[in-house]
Chain A
Amino acid sequence: MILKVIVLALIGTLVAGLLKQVKPEISIVAVIVTGLIIIWTILGEIVTIKTTFSKLFESSNVEGIFSAVMKIVGIGYLTEYASSVCEDYGTSSLAKKVQLAGKVCIFAMSTSAVTTIMSAITKLV
């Protein structure tokens, strides 16, 4: 499975390098598409991880926290993906904007996680 990702990444860089001379605009699209395909290949793994963990957390009452953590992981991953693509093609200012937006979203998400944690703790005491 990891081999597939490696092959895809190498082919993607080759195609992007080739297209850079011939048609620079389409090389950007090639890089974005390879990124998407890599995400698509690892989607199955993410789903299995999520189901096993959610089954684990089903029993305890901290279900809210797990979904918040998954959300934070998702936001972190997607913003990292977008900002690295932006940085690749020179628009590093956009990359920084995306990272800032990701931080703000994660911070907003963490407030709800903190409240659920607090409610869980107060229930325990």
Chain B
Amino acid sequence: MSDGVEIIFKIAGIGILTAVINNILEKSDKKEIATLTTIAGLLIVFAMVVSMMSGLFKELKTIFNLY
């Protein structure tokens, strides 16, 4: 199990966590905080993915010497 799979599970975990928090907040009629948590969850996931993507594409650029 390389480190690749852990990232996928981490993303799945964050997704499910935000959904659960959303439901809880909605039940306790705090709608606006629910939307905030959704956005926060998305931001965390995007930040993690963007850093990984940039590293990989830099490597690909050097390999295919695409400039």
Contact = CB atoms under 8 A, between A and B. Distances in A.
A70 interface: yes
Interface residues of A, number: 34
B65 A15 contact: no
A15 B11 CA distance: 9
Interface in B35-67: 38, 41-42, 45-46, 49, 52-53, 56, 59-60, 63-66
Q: Main SS of chain A's interface residues?
A: helix
Nearest to A40: B56
Max chain B C-beta neighbours (<10 A), residue from A34, A40, A50: A40
B53 to A, nearest CB: 6
7 contacts: A15-B12, A19-B15, A23-B15, A26-B42, A29-B45, A40-B4, A43-B60
